[in-house]
Structure 1
Amino acid sequence: MSPTQVSPGTHIPVLVIGGGQAGLSVSHHLGAAGVDHLVVEKQTAVHAWADTRWDSFTLVTPNWHCRLPGYHYEGPDPDGFMTRDQVVEWLHGWLETFDPPLVEHTAATRLRRTGTGFEVTLAGPVGERTVTADEVVVATGGYPIPVIPPYASFLDPAVVQLHSEQYRNPDQLAEGAVLVVGSGQSGAQIAEDLHLAGRRVHLAVGNAPRVARFYRGRDCMTWLADMGLYDTPAQQYPGGKAAQEKTNHYVTGRDGGRDVDLRRFAAEGMRLYGTLTSGRDSELRFAPTLTDALDSADRVYNSICADIDRHIDAHGIDAPPPSRYSPVWAPETDPTSLDLAAEGITTIIWAIGYRPDYRWIEASSFDGAGHPMQTRGATEVPGLSFVGLPWMHTWGSGRFLGIDRDAKYLADGIIARHHASREERAS
């Protein structure tokens, strides 16, 4: 289907909503099978990588993890970590290998089930139009809405507040100290970026675990891939649902890759706190959780190293000797308050994640928290599926390493149903 033919009332056999790498991977497989479909994207195909990552951003997974349909990383540094701009260039290279039926700057604002399929309202430069579809694949990302706590509006208006997706570099911020809230991958790396630039940084530490960048001669994520962790179905994953709901481990690919050690940052002058619980004007309150958070992160770090040790021993692999992380700093007490004005803090960066927003979908396919109820992307609503979600099938889901597998699984089901329907109509 030509995107220029999408007028009000158009019927689309398969509509893919979201033109990021997940939605376009489904399109790649559908196109190869000759299935008529359309992809709509509310911005541009690679905008999330180009527009919502900071300047010094790098992948935290090795380049060899970068695999999309018919297109794998083939550069000179498979064990390195692409920068933001390199990822954008790599994705553009992938898009040049096929011709997806993509309409950009067009958002799906309403999706409802009909007796024979779906009715979808699209809004774009040419105005609003309603189309119909037999099947819909939602590839809008797992968590599109940045989380900002409700008490943020009660803080001193002189302090500038940004979400992590708005942060670009230290020079963007006003002079003065910076409070980063959240120690997941984004928060920890942004705090490091500011720290390396010589800014005075305060960091509210959450419950994110950490992992060694390199261990016993290889990248830890390469070891974990060899151990099958990225291929283990969610139902069989050690730790079950609790493990899947944890924040991703913090580490960095910057400067060739290294650990992110919050204790070392603290020894160098960064101020650490526990979970931020409330605030008003210039006064912030924290739970006394810092010591436990740092200890827990280190336990996970050492536990992963121990798992790798067992893998090495079980397979008789020749590798450098094992080691364990020993703390280089510990808090004397857990701080429970902070005065923004007294500390000269002029900027707060919220790095506490995102939340789902599927209010535009009128279908009974969500749980009480607003997450899709799906099995490998398929829902109980006939013809409605999702792709690109974390833990959709494995730990690799939502990452470059697992996108092609997830997309192909969904596409294969759609292709089979499409051919069966065509044969039924022909008989």
Structure 2
Amino acid sequence: MSTSPATPEHLASDDTTHVPVIVIGGGQAGLSVSWYLGANDIDHLVVEAGTPMHQWSDTRWDNFTLVTPNWHCRLPGYAYQGPDPDGFMTRDEVVEWLRGWLDTFSPPLRTGTRVTRLSHGEDGGYELMTEGEHGPEILTCDEVVVATGGYPVPVVPTFAPTLDPAIRQLHSEEYRNSDQLADGAVLVVGSGQSGAQIAEDLHLEGRSVHLAIGTAPRVARFYRGRDCMTWLADMGLYETPAQQYPGGKAAREKTNHYVTGRDGGRDVDLRAFALEGMSLYGTLTDGRDTGLTFAPTLTSSLDKADSVYNSICADIDAHIAREGIDAPPASRYEPVWRPSTDPETLDLAAAGITTIIWAIGYRPDYRWIEASAFDGGGRPMQTRGVTGVSGLSFIGLPWMHTWGSGRFLGIDDDARHIAETIIDRGRGTAGGLRLAVGS
């Protein structure tokens, strides 16, 4: 993997620290912007706190697989060309695929360098304060692209510190496998993609699992002869701007549907897990010492998730009918288990629970950016990544433009738009963006 290309000339001298464009973050989103800037001879620098795309190996559990089909994996100048386009790469296979992409070009990349403050420069443009192996440094630029990820700060409840210290607590990004946990039962809190799949991982390892579920919807893995996400792609859902969905930009707050690509892909059916011994609860609301309380929402949450599952299938049915597609017959999910009651309390000690895994998401943290570009929730106010603050853009945000944003499927288009915007604003070399696209 090419991680340390030659230092650009403007960084060769201690007296010169100005770079026309700086991309903060060396994940696949930031490097995709770099790919387009480099293809058009735009002088720029990518600044990465760790190593390129390190989160794929550092924050995914051992049995992680993609939940989107491999054919979704496309980046500038590069697309999945393996033998199983309808399969689901494992974590290690994704890391290897990304390494192959990075070997196809040489981004001007500075690793081990964290940006601690981004502010407006005295003479226009931006000033970046950084810290790294060589101590603090100040860089300036005309354009800056923030590619640090959508929501980088793991969320844990405010009451977490009041729980019995004998019970280990970790966030989903710290989970690797069952063996790293102490003997005993495990409580997973959250039923989004990470929570549901980690609960399944532990369940398959024979652990006693308790799962507190939220409002996450679910989707069928396969329906009427194809992967559901392939149907949805054909229907154009991943390319539809967020503003055109019911509720408009509120779509960006939606939790992703839970499903898995493990063992070739299958549904995640929490009701089936309950039949096999997993204990389910509604939304966790409070806790102290070894006692937890839950909202009585288990039944309604399961019913709502199944309703979304069947609604998506119905939308696919309508598409098949409109297009006259020959496909296997339609079907509907029928519950295989129903709770007899909605449990509202749990004694961790009595249940033998020794570990809690928090899988309730992440929150934004842009306090290091001194610019009027954020709403009351601390999220960037942007359109396709471009803010109202001249020269400031974002990339890699969930629902930044479409459902595909923040996924491999939509990164190429989003990065290309950001690069085009930078060139159109005249911050780089003159001329239009060459339409060199991957896949």
Give the corresponding residue for 1:360: 368
SS at match of 1:60: coil
Amino acid at match of 2:23: V
Is residue 2 of structure 1 aligned with residue 23 of structure 2? Answer: no
Is residue 83 of structure 1 aligned with residue 90 of structure 2? Answer: yes
Amino acid at match of 2:7: S
Give the corresponding residue for 1:152: 160
SS at match of 1:389: coil
TM-score, normalised by the number of residues in structure 2: 0.94
Among candidates 380, 384, 387, match of residue 392 of structure 2 = 384
Contact 1:273/1:290 (8 A) holds in 2: yes
Contact 1:11/1:132 (8 A) holds in 2: yes
**Structure 2 CA distance, aligned partners of 1:126 and 1:200?**
48
Is residue 174 of structure 1 aligned with residue 182 of structure 2? Answer: yes
How far does the alpha carbon of each residue in 1:154-174 deviate from its partner, in whole angstroms, 9 at most, with x for none? 000000000000000001100
Among candidates 175, 194, 199, match of residue 202 of structure 2 = 194
Is residue 320 of structure 1 aligned with residue 344 of structure 2? Answer: no
How far does the alpha carbon of each residue in 1:314-367 deviate from its partner, in whole angstroms, 9 at most, with x for none? 000000000000000010010000000000000000000000010000000000
Is residue 404 of structure 1 aligned with residue 409 of structure 2? Answer: no
Q: What's the offset of the Cα at 1:242?
A: 4.1
**Structure 1 CA distance, aligned partners of 2:54 and 2:195?**
21
Give the corresponding residue for 1:280: 288
Among candidates 68, 71, 75, match of residue 68 of structure 1 = 75
SS at match of 1:362: coil
Q: 1:31 to 1:195 in 2, by over 3 A?
A: same
Among candidates 96, 110, 116, match of residue 109 of structure 1 = 116
Q: What's the offset of the Cα at 1:5?
A: 2.5
Is residue 22 of structure 1 aligned with residue 22 of structure 2? Answer: no
Give the corresponding residue for 1:338: 346
**Structure 2 CA distance, aligned partners of 1:288 and 1:8?**
63
**Structure 2 CA distance, aligned partners of 1:59 and 1:146?**
20
SS at match of 1:278: strand
Q: 1:8 to 1:285 in 2, by over 3 A?
A: farther
Give the corresponding residue for 2:434: none
SS at match of 2:22: strand
**Structure 2 CA distance, aligned partners of 1:64 and 1:118?**
38
Q: 1:133 to 1:419 in 2, by over 3 A?
A: closer
Is residue 37 of structure 1 aligned with residue 35 of structure 2? Answer: no
How far does the alpha carbon of each residue in 1:252-305 deviate from its partner, in whole angstroms, 9 at most, with x for none? 000000000000000100000000000000000000000000000000000000
**Structure 2 CA distance, aligned partners of 1:410 and 1:420?**
13
Give the corresponding residue for 2:436: none
Contact 1:143/1:357 (8 A) holds in 2: yes
Q: What's the offset of the Cα at 1:422?
A: 5.8
Contact 2:42/2:428 (8 A) holds in 1: no
Contact 2:190/2:213 (8 A) holds in 1: yes
Q: 1:30 to 1:421 in 2, by over 3 A?
A: closer
Q: 1:137 to 1:332 in 2, by over 3 A?
A: same
Among candidates 114, 125, 134, match of residue 133 of structure 2 = 125
Among candidates 39, 59, 62, match of residue 52 of structure 1 = 59
Q: What's the offset of the Cα at 1:420?
A: 7.5
Give the corresponding residue for 1:414: 422
Q: What's the offset of the Cα at 1:243?
A: 3.7
Unpaired stretches in structure 2, ≥5 consecutive residues: 1-5, 432-439
**Structure 2 CA distance, aligned partners of 1:421 and 1:403?**
23
Which residues in structure 2 correspond to 1:201-216 (within 5 Å)? 201-216=209-224
Aligned residues: 423
Q: 1:281 to 1:9 in 2, by over 3 A?
A: farther
Give the corresponding residue for 1:97: 104
Among candidates 270, 288, 291, match of residue 262 of structure 1 = 270
Q: What's the offset of the Cα at 1:241?
A: 3.7
Amino acid at match of 1:47: H
- Percent same amino acid at aligned positions? 74
Q: What's the offset of the Cα at 1:244?
A: 3.4
**Structure 2 CA distance, aligned partners of 1:422 and 1:290?**
58
Q: 1:305 to 1:6 in 2, by over 3 A?
A: farther
SS at match of 1:413: helix
Q: What's the offset of the Cα at 1:47?
A: 0.8
**Structure 1 CA distance, aligned partners of 2:260 and 2:35?**
31
**Structure 2 CA distance, aligned partners of 1:348 and 1:54?**
16
Amino acid at match of 1:163: H
Unpaired stretches in structure 1, ≥5 consecutive residues: none
Q: What's the offset of the Cα at 1:116?
A: 1.4
TM-score, normalised by the number of residues in structure 1: 0.97
Contact 1:175/1:346 (8 A) holds in 2: yes
**Structure 1 CA distance, aligned partners of 2:367 and 2:13?**
24
Amino acid at match of 1:2: T
Contact 2:251/2:399 (8 A) holds in 1: no
Contact 1:108/1:121 (8 A) holds in 2: yes
The root-mean-square deviation of aligned C-alpha atoms, in Å, is 1.3
